[in-house]
Amino acid sequence: MRKVICWGIIYIMIMGMTAITTGCAREEEELPGEEAPEEELRIPFGDVPAPEDMIVDAAHWKDRYPMIYESFLRTSRMGDFTVEDSTLGGLHPADYLEKYPNIKILYDGIGFSKEYYVARGHYYALEDVINTARPKPGASCLACKTGEYEKLYVEHGEDLFRMDFHETVQGVEHSISCYTCHRNEPGENVHITAPHFAIGLTKLEEEPPAGTQACAQCHVEYYFDADTGEVVLPWDNGIEIDEIEAYFDERGFYDWKHPRTGTPLIKVQHPEFEMYTGSIHDRMRISCMDCHMPMVEEEGETYRSHWAKSPLKTVEESCGQCHQDAEGIITQTEDIQREIDEMQVEVSDMLVKLIEDFAAALDERTMEQDVVQQLQTLHRRAQYRWDFVMVENSTGFHNASKARKALEEAKEFAQEALDLLAEQE
């Protein structure tokens, strides 16, 4: 019961923030000839149902919302697409280790160097987290994998974070479900059910549209608090790439030390929300949902697709309202992705060289401690920026200028380290 009250307080804080931010919303930059989607959705105060009343099985809504339910089940599809996949995103199943062999060296010392697959649909979230060989610190991992997480949270309180993953997951049946974004009210409201995001929201300067918040519950950078096991969003300083880095630096935080250079590194997760924020489309208040879950027409009925997938499979519906030339906009999107992907590979080549030269230098000669530390700092900065772009799932599309800038900076840090190493010879 205590938790439910806590929730109320969090929501009141959110509502308070809403009032403040609407008062001082910044002037939107005028973009020529285009209009944002008509109306903005609001996140309401959420009443958390009692655990026994929570409707966590999506099938419950099958008869009431047959088309939405059916579209939601399409997140189980792999390869069965009506529109061609783009070359860089949306391909399944794909193994990053094969595609980008450099990451075996860059992620040496953590699970991602042994197993790393491209994300699949929401249907598989629970199954995939159970099956991954990567280690799981605790039941917190379930926060982004099942519609039953809030139920567990209300039942166990904060003890949940530390509970054994494998034991806890025994009792969990459903993957991401309607409950995740709507609680018991699909069709009426978007609800935030991820505790970490409800807290994260209070740190944002501007409240994102509801169709972005629903996704930012999970498509964000996060880490597990070392003491409590809680999922935390590192947003105290802001959500820009360097602001998140500063947050980690201030806490002396690192996910692991690179076994060959000793560098304390940050492993970035999937920062779609942070990357997207501030992009051309975001500044027009277009939400994740507008592109990824557009209104579609089938059998004479119009409904909101719940097939969260690559928007390039529904360009007419997702982009057509503003970009009339469907073919052209796909090409333009893929050009951006190709450019960012090439830059990403180029930076990863530099990082491999840096790691190898640095490791060799450590083996071969004695370097001043402060030089070693400088090299480690440069390595950390460069690899963090590269990783931020590498693991962001749109291959740069969500915000090409932010991705480009991060990779440019990564290059500079890596080059500085290589120059410093060369001086040591």
Q: Interface residues for ligand HEC in 217-246 (CB under 6 A)? A: 217-219
Segment lying near ligand HEC (by CB under 6 A), choices 209-217, 228-236, 249-257, 370-378: 209-217
Contacts of 215 (CB under 8 A, 6+ apart): 272, 273, 288, 289, 292, 308
Q: Which of 124, 413 has the CB closer to ligand HEC?
A: 124
Q: How far is the CB of 33 from ligand HEC (least distance, A)?
A: 7
Q: Could you tell me how far CA 370 lies from the centroid of its own chain?
A: 35
Q: How far is the CB of 56 from ligand HEC (least distance, A)?
A: 11
Instruction: Pick the binder of ligand HEC from 55, 169, 176, 372 (CB under 6 A).
Output: 176
Count of residues that bind ligand HEC according to CB under 6 A:
76
Where b means 16+ CB within 10 Å and e means fewer, 67-101 reads bbbebbbbbeeeeeeeeeebebbbebeeebbeebe
Q: How far is the CB of 299 from ligand HEC (least distance, A)?
A: 16
Contacts of 216 (CB under 8 A, 6+ apart): 197, 200, 208, 272, 273, 288
Q: Does 271 bind ligand HEC (CB under 6 A)?
A: no
Contacts of 349 (CB under 8 A, 6+ apart): 102
Instruction: Pick the binder of ligand HEC from 7, 112, 116, 273 (CB under 6 A).
Output: 273
Q: How far is the CB of 171 from ligand HEC (least distance, A)?
A: 18
Q: Does 178 bind ligand HEC (CB under 6 A)?
A: yes
Q: How far is the CB of 360 from ligand HEC (least distance, A)?
A: 37
Instruction: Pick the binder of ligand HEC from 10, 67, 94, 322 (CB under 6 A).
Output: 322
Q: Does 181 bind ligand HEC (CB under 6 A)?
A: yes
Q: Which of 69, 358 has the CB closer to ligand HEC?
A: 69
Q: Does 261 bind ligand HEC (CB under 6 A)?
A: no
Q: Does 411 bind ligand HEC (CB under 6 A)?
A: no
Q: Does 321 bind ligand HEC (CB under 6 A)?
A: yes
Q: How far is the CB of 284 from ligand HEC (least distance, A)?
A: 6
Rounded to an integer, what distance in angstroms lies between the CA atom of residue 77 and that of residue 246? 40
Compute CA distances 424 → 38, 132, 229, 377, 418, whole Å.
61, 42, 41, 17, 10
Instruction: Pick the binder of ligand HEC from 233, 319, 355, 382 (CB under 6 A).
Output: 319
Rounded to an integer, what distance in angstroms lies between the CA atom of residue 149 and that of residue 3? 13
Bridge partner residues of 295 (DSSP): 304
Instruction: Pick the binder of ligand HEC from 103, 172, 291, 410 (CB under 6 A).
Output: 291
Q: Does 86 bind ligand HEC (CB under 6 A)?
A: yes
Q: Which of 308, 351 has the CB closer to ligand HEC?
A: 308
Q: Does 379 bind ligand HEC (CB under 6 A)?
A: no
Q: How far is the CB of 19 from ligand HEC (least distance, A)?
A: 21
Q: Which residue's Cβ lies closest to ligand HEC?
A: 89
Q: Which of 87, 373 has the CB closer to ligand HEC?
A: 87
Task: Confirm if 223 and 232 have CB atoms less than 8 A apart.
Answer: yes
**E strands, 316-363, in order:** none
Token duo for residue 391? 């693991």
DSSP 297: E
Rg of the chain over Cα atoms, rounded to whole angstroms, equals: 22
Query: Please, how many CA atoms are within 13 Å of residue 41, restricted to the half-sphere of its CB?
Result: 18
Scanning 202-253, the segments in alpha helix (DSSP H) are 210-216, 241-250
Q: Does 257 bind ligand HEC (CB under 6 A)?
A: no
Interface with ligand HEC in residues 96-115 (CB under 6 A): none
Q: Does 190 bind ligand HEC (CB under 6 A)?
A: yes
Interface with ligand HEC in residues 141-170 (CB under 6 A): 144-145
Rounded to an integer, what distance in angstroms lies between the CA atom of residue 64 and that of residue 94? 36
Token duo for residue 244? 């998140």
Interface with ligand HEC in residues 8-67 (CB under 6 A): 31, 34, 36, 41, 58, 61, 65
Segment lying near ligand HEC (by CB under 6 A), choices 48-56, 153-161, 285-293, 410-418: 285-293
Interface with ligand HEC in residues 347-366 (CB under 6 A): none
**E strands, 250-403, in order:** 256-257, 264-265, 295-298, 301-304
Q: Which of 263, 337 has the CB closer to ligand HEC?
A: 337
DSSP 132: -
Three-state secondary structure call for residue 298: strand
